[in-house]
Every structure is written in C-alpha cells, then in structure tokens.
Amino acid sequence: MIESHEGKLAAAEVQRLPDAVIVMAEQCQARGPHGAVAAAAPAAALVGAEVLRAGGNAYDAAVAAALAEIVLLPPKCGLAGDLIALAWRADREEPEALLAIGGAPAGLAEVAARGQMRATGPMSVGVPGAPAGYLALAARGRVPLERLAAPAIEMARGGFCWSRICSLLSEEAADLVARYNPSGTRYFPNNRIIPPGAVTRLPGLAAAIESFVRERAGFLTGEVGEAILSCVRRHGGILTRADFETSATAEWVAAARGQLADRPLFVTPAPTHGPALLRALNRMAHSDIDPAVAVHGDVMQALKWQRGELADPSGTSMVSAADMEGTLVTIVHSNSYPRFGSGLVAEPYDLILANRAGRGFSDQPGHPNFPAPGRRPATTLHAWAVSGPGRIRWQGATPGGDNQMPWNAQTLARMAVGGADIGQLILSPRWQWHPADDSLTVEAGFKAAELELLRSFASRLHKVEQWAIRSAMQIVTSDADKGIVSAAADPRTVGAALAF
C-alpha cells in the first residue's frame, strides 16, 4: 500500500508548481457553502447551479445538468445511451452506485455465436439504460422533473451554440454516420459538419425530452421507443419491444470497497471497470518518483485482467454536484464508442443510438461477458469516492474510453501521498495508454527520470504539450468541518465548475 504523507508532499507540490498551474488550478475549481456543480459543458454547469440556488439538492442539480448535456453534447450522451452514477448521501457512511446499463437484447446471443455481432451499426444497438437512470436519480430530488428538463428543452428548441468538441467528434464520425444515414441528419446539415459556434436547433430532441418527462417509465414503450425500433429494424437489427420491457432498468447497488493508503476507497462495481481500479491501487508501494508514474505497472496488470474479463472502450460525458447538506452525486453517461455510438440516428427525434451492446460484450460463448439475454455488458464507465482525512469526502470520475481507469488511478495515487487541491490534482500531468501497441502519450510536466521510466515501460513514448491529452476529469468534495463544498472540472476539454 502507498505510504501517506499528507502535509509534507502537498506543501512541496505547491512550492514547485509553476505560477500558471496554480492560477489554472484556481480557475478550474469552485468552492462555496451552499452548493457546487461541475459539467463538461459550461452551460450545463450553469443549469445545475441554478437548480441548486432554487432549492434543489445534488440529485436535482446533477439530473438537470445531465439533461442539458444530452442537448449540448449529443455525440457523447443521450436518451438512447446509458449511465452509471455514484451518490453519497450526507447521512450515510458509504456511497451507493447506480447501474443504468441496458441488458442484452434476447436475440443478441445467437447473433454473437454466429460471429455477426458488430462494434457499430444495427447489430451493435442494445437497450437504452439512461432514461431509467435519470428517473432513478430524479426520484431522490426535490424538484419536479418538468422543471429539471425545461432548460434542456428550451436550448434544443430555441437554439444553442455548437461546441468545438462536438465539431471535432463529428469530424471523427462523419463516415460512420453517413453510412447509416445517407439522407442526412440534423447533426450533419447538407452532409456537412456543424462549425464551432454555429447556432444549432434540435427540435426532434426537444420532443424526445418532452416525451421522456411525460411518459417517465413508459418512455421506451411509446412513440420514441417505436422510432428507435423502426430505425434498428430498417437497418436489419434485432432489437424488440420485449427487450425494452425487460432490460431497460436502473438498479441501486452497494459500492465496491478497497483502500487508498489508510483511507476507504469506494468504486462502482462490475460490470463497470471500478473493480479494475481497485486492483490497480491495491499493491502500490511508496517511492520518490511521481505516484502517477509509480502506479503504471499495477495499472497495466489491472488492464490485463480487465481485458480478459471485460471490454468496451467508450466515449462519454459526466456531471457532478454537491449540495449544502454535503450530498455528492456523480453521473457518467454515454453513447459508447466511437463518437455517435452505433452511427444510427432515430428520426424524427434526433436520437443517436448507442452501441454499448456491440462494443461491450464478448462474442465468445462461455465468456463471462457473453451477451446472455438481459445481461448488462461491461462498461469502462465508473466512478470513485474517498473518505478522509477528517470529515472530508471526495468523489470523481473521468470520461476517456480505455484510459478512464489509468487516469483515475493516476489521480488517486497522487491523493494517496497527500495531494489535496482538487484543481491541482486534475491539472497534474498524465500519461495515456494506447492498447493497440502498448505505447504511451505523456504530457509535459514529468521529470526527466520519470520520463525515462515511462519510456522503459512502453513500446513507444510520444511527448505532448501540457494539458494536451483529451481527458475531462471532475472531482467534487464535501468538507463537513469547514461547511464547504467544492467542484473542479478538467480544462483540457472545456469543462466548468460553479459554486455559491
């Protein structure tokens, strides 16, 4: 286990950090006595903060921000995707995990056994779990769902500015979307990529969110569900209405528990990659090098286990919230991978259909992750929480596909030896693993000896500028002794944190 040296290392870190890092660390975090919200889209963070100011709790704020994100970042998340969440009530000793990952369609096992399951396209589409997840979270709130969804509906119908990250993701997915939508979609008007800053309206998505608010648990058995089924059938897929009725569920479960130095560490359990994160942090020993470098070997061992048991690189987004009572909520929601999920878009609702089933399952009969009917696929989505020192609670996660677990492990390794400023934890340099050849991309900021050590681990090492890796980590905290909650959002992908 890592030896803990709370104060000494934290002070040394501050002394050697460049002024730009210290300033940026303050810019990317927010603190207040009443509430804090972080989101991957700044406007979504504002929506969540306004809900808190209006008397909502952390569940309300997180749901409102997440619904705003499905409009602001549709290539990443949506009502046809899935989600996981970690929620730590102020009056509970441990957090709870929410799994809203749709189960395997009944016909997918036969498709997989024939070798016809695909990572994209109609044979990759599974049951959406996100709608049930949003409802399960909203059920713990104080604010009616209609009010939580109103900002998202207003932006979808009235217009919002398309983000640079959405343009980039559209460019990466243009061929995929064109293959399955030859007549075009609102996301590629006139078969062109929407430029950053362009005012964009998604009236179909507004109608879908309105249907979700109106139909609640019956959302997928109504008109929107039929539009999804019609789209999949038209392309030759096997999804059925019966699949919606049996596998579109959300379940609150106990978080898996481990240790981070001398503090309790909690993660979302399987089929998320939370257990792999526990494995990566289970055997660490203290050394004089950056803990994010020292953890590399254990991360690789955990990834090896993970590749044998699980699968699913993902494209995701996330929101986080903390309220004045000290409750923490983290949502990670996804259309899976690559960008735009399966590539199918269900008209007229502008719904991008996720490919969690095709990407997340193994097609090998007998494998623990084979798509038995109703089984949830493995997902890289996961979140973590740490208790202490004192009465401080920490909760966090990051999108990032295969690198969600490595990036979380690097951050937690630094926390284990005293890292306490959440902005500095997020801004600290990272390495990124490339599964195709076990090479690494490494941000500027590591010492020469640490770079050489990473180089010795990798088939190839590529150095990039500071904060150049596309991660989107968020951390929220509650300090009961000081009566302060805080949030931080990764500036690498234009996240935002607000507090009051």
Distance CA 151, CA 428 (A): 34
Mean pLDDT computed over 91-104: 97
Query: What total number of domains does the chain contain?
Result: 1
Q: And the tokens for 74?
A: 């549709």
Cβ atoms of residues 85 and 383 within 8 Å: yes
Report whether pLDDT(286) > 90: no
- CA angle in degrees (0–180, nearest 5) for 331-332-335: 135
H or E stretch including 489?
A: strand 484-489
Residue 444 in any domain: the answer is yes
Task: Look at residues 488, 321, 473 and name the one whose alpha carbon lies nearest to residue 421.
Answer: 488
**Partner residues linked to 499 by β-bridges:** 36
CATH of the domain at 257: 3.60.20.40
Confidence of residue 315 (pLDDT cuts 50, 70, 90): low
Q: Which domain holds residue 297?
A: 6-499
Residue 298 in any domain: the answer is yes
pTM: 0.95
Residue 287 in any domain: the answer is yes
Phi, psi of 37 (to 5 degrees): -140, 140
Residue 313 in any domain: the answer is yes
Residue 338 in any domain: the answer is yes
Half-sphere exposure of 211 (CA within 13 A, CB side): 21
Residue 1 in any domain: the answer is no
**pLDDT at position 171:** 96
- How are the residues of the chain apportioned to helix, strand and coil, as percentages rounded to the nearest 5? 40, 20, 40
pLDDT tens-place string over residues 336-355? 876 899 999 999 999 999 99
Distance CA 299, CA 277 (A): 8
**Partner residues linked to 498 by β-bridges:** 37
Residue 413 in any domain: the answer is yes
Residue 77 in any domain: the answer is yes
pLDDT tens-place string over residues 423-466? 999 999 999 999 999 999 999 999 999 999 999 999 999 999 99
**pLDDT at position 308:** 62
